[in-house]
């Protein structure tokens, strides 16, 4: 298939349709409103459903209601909007419904700014909403990967019966790159008649299905939450994704970085290599489950003096990097958190000054 030049936001919308998701509910927010604009036009053509909700709070529950019927469903938003949806995400996780959320991150806290950020790492990987739950979180580094991850998100949400999040940032949403929509990433929806509230007529037996997150009996809730935990443990076994960059040989420092930031770091690594300085990188493609072993092993390589978590935040992922490096190598943070993406020059200068000190 020929490549087309598309904005990240529009490509995510198209990818959802190609993944068999014909149901989209959303509320406008910069820098991702193009997804809604694209799907408002495209979904009716494709025979799908587009609803602009009255708030992100309501949209979260439109997603919940649709997902509970067993239909593939997606919403997209940006940081402040995702905060409002976090209540619904908690309910969806508790009620074990598959749904796909996309966060095209912008700066925070509060209204923050509208420029690219990675300030929602904690929100996405450590909760966001209340209670004991996780989401599978994937972080694309460009438009092509945003397409692929969006297409993969639906079957993954069904496999684990829970919310899956795509974490992009304003840069990935706004920029255009050539993309292909790989047909082999389409996976037919699973049969959901066992649990979905899609009407008893769909079942042979006279049993009703209930979608709920309320378990007043503490032993039952305990068992339910342990069942959720078993799903997260399985994700850690089966879904960890990452990319190693320039780690075959020796290197003096290891960068851990994801999304747009990792693209900048790759350029910095290439330029340092040209100057004779070897720096390696591990790029998490899944933020939850986190590539624990890959980072631990890369950080433990002889000659690696320091690990730097480079983020467009004031230092969030660095806590996970510290956790998995387990003191083998010193771990530091570097980044910017105002919406400006650090330049390759800044990354190089920082790494060089670390190694010279």
Partner 1 sequence: MQKEVMFAGFGGQGILLSAKLLAHAAMNQGAEVMWIPSYGPEMRGGTAYCTVIVSDRLIGSPIVKNPTHLVAMNRPSLEKFAPVVKSDGVVMINSSLIPVRSGRDDVDELIVPANDAAIEVGSVRCANIIAVAAFAARSKMVDLEILRECVKSQFASKAKLIPLNMAAFDKGLELAEGK
Partner 2 sequence: MGKTFSKPEALSDAHTHYCPGCTHGIAHRLVAEVIDELGIRGRTVGIAPVGCAVMAYNYFSCDFQEAAHGRAPAMATGMKRVRPDLMVFTYQGDGDLASIGMGEIIHAANRGEKFTTIFINNAIYGMTGGQMAPTTMPGQRATTAPMGRDVEKTGMPIRMCELLSSLATPGYVERQTLLKPKYINKAKKAIKKAFEYQEANKCFSFVELVSTCPTNWGMTPQDALKWAEETLLPYYPLGEFKSPE
- Contact footprint for partner 1 (CB under 8 A): 3, 5, 30-31, 114-115, 170-171, 174-178, 260, 263-268, 270, 341-345
Q: Fill in the DSSP letter of residue 106.
A: B
54 CB-contact burial (10 Å; exposed 0-12 / middle 13-18 / buried 19+): exposed
HSE value, Cβ hemisphere, 13 Å, CA-based, for 317: 34
Q: If binding is defined by CB under 8 A, does position 36 make contact with partner 2?
A: no
Binding partner of residue 246 among partner 1, partner 2, none, CB cut-off 5 to 8 Å per kind: none
User: In the set 17, 35, 39, 62, which binds partner 2 (CB under 8 A)?
Assistant: 62
Please say which residue, 70 or 173, places its beta carbon nearer to partner 2: 70
Stretch near partner 2 under the rule CB under 8 A, chosen from 52-60, 250-258, 278-286, 317-325: 52-60
DSSP 134-153: --EEE--SSHHHHHHHHHHH
SS3 state of residue 133: coil
Q: If binding is defined by CB under 8 A, does position 201 make contact with partner 2?
A: yes
Q: How far is residue 42 from each of residues 22, 72, 168, measured CA to CA in Å?
A: 10, 16, 22
Taking the complex as a whole, the smallest distance from the CB of residue 271 to partner 1 amounts, in Å, to 9
Phi, psi of 48 (to 5 degrees): -105, -170
Q: Which residues pair with 223 in a beta bridge?
A: none
Q: If binding is defined by CB under 8 A, does position 154 make contact with partner 2?
A: no
Binding partner of residue 175 among partner 1, partner 2, none, CB cut-off 5 to 8 Å per kind: partner 1
Question: How many angstroms separate the CA atoms of 248 and 43, rounded?
Answer: 45
User: In the set 3, 111, 178, 200, which binds partner 2 (CB under 8 A)?
Assistant: 200
Q: If binding is defined by CB under 8 A, does position 347 make contact with partner 2?
A: no
User: In the set 30, 49, 244, 246, which binds partner 2 (CB under 8 A)?
Assistant: 49
Q: If binding is defined by CB under 8 A, does position 189 make contact with partner 2?
A: no
Binding partner of residue 209 among partner 1, partner 2, none, CB cut-off 5 to 8 Å per kind: partner 2
Cα Dmax for the chain: 73
CA 323 to chain centroid, in Å, comes to 20
Q: If binding is defined by CB under 8 A, does position 210 make contact with partner 2?
A: yes
Question: How many angstroms separate the CA atoms of 344 and 270, rounded?
Answer: 10
Question: How many angstroms separate the CA atoms of 255 and 345, rounded?
Answer: 15
Binding site for partner 2 (CB under 8 A): 23, 25, 49, 51, 53-55, 57-69, 71, 73, 87-88, 91, 95, 197-201, 208-214
């Amino acid at each position: 298939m020929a490549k087309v030049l598309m904005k990240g936001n529009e490509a995510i919308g198209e990818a959802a349709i190609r993944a068999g998701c014909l149901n989209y509910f959303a509320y406008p927010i910069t820098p991702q409103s193009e997804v809604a604009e694209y799907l408002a036009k495209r979904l009716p053509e494709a025979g799908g459903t587009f609803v602009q909700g009255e708030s992100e709070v309501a949209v979260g529950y439109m997603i919940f209601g649709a997902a509970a019927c067993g239909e593939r469903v997606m919403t997209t938003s940006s940081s402040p909007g995702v905060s409002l949806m976090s209540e619904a995400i908690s309910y969806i996780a508790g009620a074990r419904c598959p749904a796909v959320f996309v966060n095209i991150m912008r700066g925070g806290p509060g209204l923050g700014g509208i420029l690219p950020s990675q300030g929602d790492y904690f929100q996405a990987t450590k909760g966001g909403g209340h209670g004991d739950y996780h989401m599978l979180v994937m972080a694309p580094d460009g438009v092509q990967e945003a397409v692929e991850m969006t297409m993969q998100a639906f079957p993954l949400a069904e496999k684990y019966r829970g919310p899956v999040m795509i974490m992009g940032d304003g840069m990935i949403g706004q920029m255009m790159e050539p993309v292909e929509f790989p047909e082999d990433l389409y996976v037919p929806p699973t049969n959901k008649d066992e649990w979905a509230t899609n009407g008893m007529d769909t079942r042979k037996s006279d049993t009703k299905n209930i979608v709920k997150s309320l378990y007043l009996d503490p032993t039952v809730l305990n068992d339910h939450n342990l069942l959720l935990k078993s799903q997260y443990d399985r994700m850690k076994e089966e879904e960890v994704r990452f990319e190693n960059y320039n780690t075959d040989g020796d290197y003096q420092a290891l960068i851990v970085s994801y999304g747009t930031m990792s693209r900048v770091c790759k350029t910095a690594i290439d330029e340092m290599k040209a100057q004779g300085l070897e720096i390696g990188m591990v790029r998490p493609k899944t933020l939850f489950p986190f590539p624990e072993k890959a980072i631990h092993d890369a950080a433990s390589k002889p000659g690696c003096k320091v690990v730097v978590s480079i983020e467009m935040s004031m230092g969030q992922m660095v806590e996970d990097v510290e956790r998995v490096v387990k003191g083998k190598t010193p771990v530091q943070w570097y980044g910017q958190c105002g919406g400006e993406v650090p330049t390759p020059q800044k990354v190089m200068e920082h790494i060089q000054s670390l190694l010279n000190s």
